[in-house]
Amino acid sequence: MDIKLSIKNLDAYYGKTKVLHNISLDIPKNKAVAIIGPSGCGKSTFIRCLNRMHEVVGGSITGSIMMDNEELSKKDPVLLRKRVGMVFQKPNPFPTMSIFNNVAAGLRLNGIRNKKIIAPIVEKCLKQAALWDEVKDNLDDSGANLSGGQQQRLCIARTLAVDPEVILMDEPASALDPISTTKIEDLIFELKKDYTIVIVTHNMQQAARVSDYTAFFYIGELVEFDVTSKIFMSPAKKQTEDYVRGRFG
Amino acid sequence: MQLHFNLEVDKLKSSLLQMASLVDQQVDSALNALENAQAELFKEIKAKDLEIDAYDNLIQTQCANIFALFQPVASDLRFIMSALMINNQLERCGDIAVNIAQRVKKTTAQKALIEESQIVDMGKQAKDMLKRTIDAFINNDIELANKVIDNDDIVDGYNKKIFKFLITKMQSNSELIEPCSHLLILSRHIERLADHAANISEDILFLLEARVASHQKKLTPPKDEN
Q: Which residues contact B207 (CB under 8 A, 6 or more apart)?
A: B75, B78, B79, B81, B82
CA–CA separation, B95 vs B106, rounded Å?
18
Considering only the beta carbons, identify the residue of A189, A232, A233 that sits closest to B4: A189
Nearest CA in chain B to A208: B69
pLDDT at B8 over 80: yes
Contact predicate B166/B123, CB 8 Å: no
Binary contact (A186, B1; C-beta < 8 A): yes
Question: Where are chain B's structural domains?
Answer: 2-209
Q: How far apart are alpha carbons A91 and B203 in whole angstroms?
A: 46
Q: Bridge-partner residues for A215, per DSSP?
A: A35, A225
CA–CA distance, B148 with B138 (Å, rounded to integer)? 14
Residue A242 lies inside a defined structural domain of this protein: no
pLDDT digits (tens, 9 = 90+) for B59-75: 999 999 999 999 999 99
CATH superfamily of B2-209: Phosphate transport system protein phou homolog 2; domain 2 (1.20.58.220)
Whether B187 and B162 have beta carbons less than 8 Å apart is answered as: yes
With CA atoms as reference, report the closest residue to B156 among B129, B116, B135. Answer: B129
The DSSP secondary-structure symbol of A82 reads: H
**Average pLDDT score over residue span B186-215:** 94
B4 contact residues in A (CB cutoff 8 A):
185-186, 189, 209-210
How far is residue A166's CA from residue A174's CA, in Å, rounded to a whole number?
Answer: 21
Cβ atoms < 10 Å from Cβ of B131: 16
pLDDT for res A180: 85
CA distance B200 to chain A (A): 27
Q: What domain count does chain A have?
A: 1
Q: What pLDDT is stored for residue A100 in this prediction? A: 95
In angstroms, the CA A95 to CA A110 distance is: 20
Could you tell me which of A120, A115, A150, A125 has the C-alpha nearest to residue A135? A150
Per the structure, the complete domain to which residue A194 belongs is given by: 3-203
Q: Chain B within 8 Å of A132 (Cβ-Cβ)?
A: no
Q: How far is it, in rounded angstroms, from Cα A63 to Cα A55?
A: 14
Instruction: State how far the alpha carbon of A26 is from the alpha carbons of A7, A70, B49, B149, in Å.
Output: 6, 14, 40, 54
Q: Which of B2, B68, B71 sits opposite A229 (nearest CB)?
A: B68
pTM for the structure as a whole? 0.82
Cβ <8 Å between B4 and A210: yes
Is the per-residue pLDDT at B134 higher than 70?
A: yes
In a domain, A43, yes or no: yes
Say how far apart CA A153 and CA A88 lie, in whole Å: 11
Respond yes or no on whether ipTM tops 0.85: no
Phi, psi (degrees; rounded to nearest 5) at B110: -115, 45
pLDDT along chain A (249 residues), means of 10: 95 95 97 95 95 91 95 91 91 92 90 91 92 94 92 92 94 86 89 95 92 96 96 94 84
On whether residue A210 sits in a domain, the answer given is no
Q: Is residue A13 part of a domain?
A: yes
List chain B residues with CB under 8 Å of A229.
Answer: 65, 68-69
Interface contact A182, partner B, CB < 8 A:
yes
- B92/A106: higher pLDDT: B92
Give A233's contacts in chain B (Cβ within 8 Å).
Answer: 64-65, 68
Put simply, whether A192 touches B (Cβ < 8 Å) is: no
* CATH code (residue A151): 3.40.50.300
Contact of A210 with chain B, judged by CB distance below 8 Å, is answered with yes
